[in-house]
Structure 1
Amino acid sequence: MPLTDTSIKNAKPTDKPRKLADGGGLYLLLNPNGSRWWRLDYRFTGKRKTLSMGTYPDTGLRDARDKRDAARKLLAAGVDPGEQRKAEKAAGEERASNSFEVIAREWHSKQSAAWVELHASRIMLRLENDIFPWLGGRPIADITAKELLTTVNRIVDRGAVESAHRVLQNCGQVMRYAIATGRAERNPAADLRGALPPVKQTHLAAITDPNSIGPLLRSIDGYQGSFVTRCALRLAPLVFVRPGELRQAEWAEFDLDNAQWNIPAEKMKMREPHLVPLAPQAVEILRELHPLTGRGRYLFPSARSPQRPMSNNAVLSALRRMGYATEEMSGHGFRAMARTVLDEVLHFRPDYIEQQLAHAVKDPNGRAYNRTAHLAERRKMMAAWADYLDQLRVGANIIQISSAA
Structure 2
Amino acid sequence: MKVTTFTDTMIRKLKPEDKKYIRGEGNGFTIRVMPSGVKTWLYVYSIDGKRREMNLGGYPYVPLETARLKFEAAKRKVKNGNDPLAEKEAAVHARRTALTVSDLVKEYLEKHAVHKRSGAADKRLLDVEVIPIWGKRKAEDIRKRDVVLLLESIVERGAPAMSNQVLKITRKMFNFAVERDILPHSPFASVKALAPNNSRERTLSEAEIRTLWGSLDSAAISDEIRRALKLVLVTGQRPGEVAGMHTAEIDGQWWTIPAGRAKNGREHRVFLAATALELIAPLTSVDEETGEEVPKGYIFPCPHKKKIQPIDSHALPVAVRRNLEWPVHGPKGSPLFDKDGNQAKENRLGIDQFTPHDLRRTAATFIASMGFMDEIIDAVLNHKKHGIISTYNRHKYDAEKQQALEAWDRKLKSIITEKSAGKVIPILRAR
TM-score w.r.t. the length of structure 1 is 0.67
Corresponding residue for residue 355 of structure 1 = 379
Query: Could you tell me how far 1:233 is from its partner in structure 2?
Result: 5.1
Instruction: Considering fraction of residues, name the structure with more helix.
Output: 1
The aligned length equals: 372
Counterparts in 2 of 1:285 and 1:176: CA distance versus 1, 3 Å = closer
Cα contact 2:45–2:53 (8 A) shared by 1: no
Please give the residue correspondences for 1:5-404 in structure 2 after superposition, counting only pairs within 5 Å. Answer: 7-8=18-19, 42-43=45-46, 48-53=49-54, 73-74=72-73, 77=76, 79-80=78-79, 83-90=83-90, 101=101, 106-108=107-109, 109-125=111-127, 126-132=129-135, 136-138=139-141, 143=143, 145-174=144-173, 176-177=175-176, 189-193=188-192, 196=194, 198-199=195-196, 203=200, 206-209=203-206, 213-214=209-210, 216-217=212-213, 228=224, 231-232=227-228, 234-252=230-248, 254-257=249-252, 259-288=253-282, 290-291=284-285, 297-305=297-305, 307=307, 309-310=310-311, 311-312=315-316, 313-314=318-319, 323-325=348-350, 327=352, 330-345=355-370, 347-362=371-386, 364-366=388-390, 373-398=396-421, 401-403=425-427
Instruction: Render the CA deviation track for 1:222-267: whole Å, top value 9, x for unaligned.
Output: 9998655554455343223233332332333x3233x222334454
State the AA in 1 paired with 2:151: V
Secondary structure of 1:189's aligned partner: coil
In 1, Cα distance between equivalents of 2:62 and 2:216: 79
In 2, Cα distance between equivalents of 1:221 and 1:79: 79
TM-score w.r.t. the length of structure 2 is 0.64
- Percent identity between matched residues is 21
Query: Could you tell me how far 1:382 is from its partner in structure 2?
Result: 2.2
Counterparts in 2 of 1:292 and 1:309: CA distance versus 1, 3 Å = farther
In 1, Cα distance between equivalents of 2:283 and 2:89: 64
Q: After alignment, is 276-285 or 302-311 more displaced? A: 302-311
State the AA in 2 paired with 1:386: D
In 2, Cα distance between equivalents of 1:365 and 1:49: 74
State the AA in 2 paired with 1:168: L
Counterparts in 2 of 1:178 and 1:48: CA distance versus 1, 3 Å = same
Cα contact 1:175–1:187 (8 A) shared by 2: yes
Counterparts in 2 of 1:168 and 1:42: CA distance versus 1, 3 Å = same
- Structure 1: give runs of 5+ residues left out of the alignment: 10-19, 29-37
Query: Could you tell me how far 1:299 is from its partner in structure 2?
Result: 1.7
In 2, Cα distance between equivalents of 1:379 and 1:363: 26
In 1, Cα distance between equivalents of 2:205 and 2:78: 77
Query: Could you tell me how far 1:343 is from its partner in structure 2?
Result: 0.5
Query: Could you tell me how far 1:148 is from its partner in structure 2?
Result: 3.6
Query: Could you tell me how far 1:200 is from its partner in structure 2?
Result: 8.8
Cα contact 2:255–2:272 (8 A) shared by 1: yes
In 1, Cα distance between equivalents of 2:278 and 2:272: 10
Query: Could you tell me how far 1:51 is from its partner in structure 2?
Result: 1.4
In 2, Cα distance between equivalents of 1:75 and 1:232: 68
In 2, Cα distance between equivalents of 1:224 and 1:69: 72
Counterparts in 2 of 1:251 and 1:314: CA distance versus 1, 3 Å = farther
Cα contact 1:223–1:322 (8 A) shared by 2: no
